[in-house]
Amino acid sequence: MTFNELTKRIFMTEILKGMALTLKTMFTKPVTRQYPEEKREALPGFRGLHALVRKSDSSLRCVGCGLCAAICPSRCISIYTSEGVDHTKVVDRYEVEVLKCLFCGFCVEACPFGAVVLTEHFEYSDYSREALFMTKEKLLNNWDKFMAGKKGEQYFEKYWRPLAEDFGTPENQPVLKNRRAD
């Protein structure tokens, strides 16, 4: 036993050091979050529950191109379209089987118009499978609930950028001219 060790033992420096840390921590904020009372802020690009984007005129932004369904690795998206009264393409059904989804976010990336998003909502557990079978209406409600207002705009400005923005569809494009703007 060296002198140093002896002094440590006599004055109980180890214990004092420990106590000092305890004392210090007593006055700091606790790390543990009191979930579910206390919820964590999601970071940009968080991949939560799906939603379909509403345009400013409250209609669906999705044109039913099916690229999300094509890229989806777990084949959980199905889209049914038909011809509308004015001979345009109408999305009749847009369905996501959330239980199959693995939240890769490919659908968001594939969408040329920024019509599908993964919201920050992650608490969607339920007792029935039906509740997690998202129909078009449910998905639009998700948008209203979780992405309304500034949040939705920022989502596309700050994190996902729709492909159509960069791959130059000219403004005077006849076929899409009424579909681009929201």
Task: Check binding of 64 to other proteins (CB under 8 A).
Answer: yes
Residue 90 near other proteins by CB under 8 A: yes
Site for other proteins in 163-182 (CB under 8 A): 167-170, 172-176, 179
The minimum distance between CB 90 and other proteins, in angstroms, equals 7
Measured distance CA(88)–CA(178) in Å, rounded = 11
How many angstroms from the chain centroid is the CA of residue 147? Answer: 9
- Residue whose structure tokens are 């339920």: 126
40 binds other proteins (CB under 8 A): no
Which residue in the set 49, 53, 113, 152 belongs to the binding site for other proteins (CB under 8 A)?
Answer: 113
**Cis link prior to 36 (omega < 30° from 0)?**
yes
> What size, in residues, is the chain?
182
- Asked whether position 89 contacts other proteins by CB under 8 A, the answer is yes
Interatomic CA distance for residues 104 and 159, integer angstroms: 15
Which neighbouring-strand residues pair with 95? 78
CB under 8 A: which stretch of 13-21, 32-40, 78-86, 148-156 binds other proteins? Answer: 78-86
**Alpha-carbon dihedral of residues 59, 62, 64, 68, nearest 10 degrees?**
-150
Helix (H, G, I), strand (E, B), or coil: what is residue 11? helix
Minimum CB–partner distance for residue 162 and other proteins (Å): 11
Please report how close the Cβ of residue 71 comes to other proteins at its closest, in angstroms. Answer: 10
| Contact between 70 and other proteins per CB under 8 A | yes
Q: In 3-state terms, what secondary structure has residue 97? A: strand
Q: Nearer to other proteins by C-beta: 17 or 89?
A: 89
Write out the residues near other proteins by the rule CB under 8 A: 63-67, 69-70, 78-79, 81-83, 87-90, 112-113, 167-170, 172-176, 179
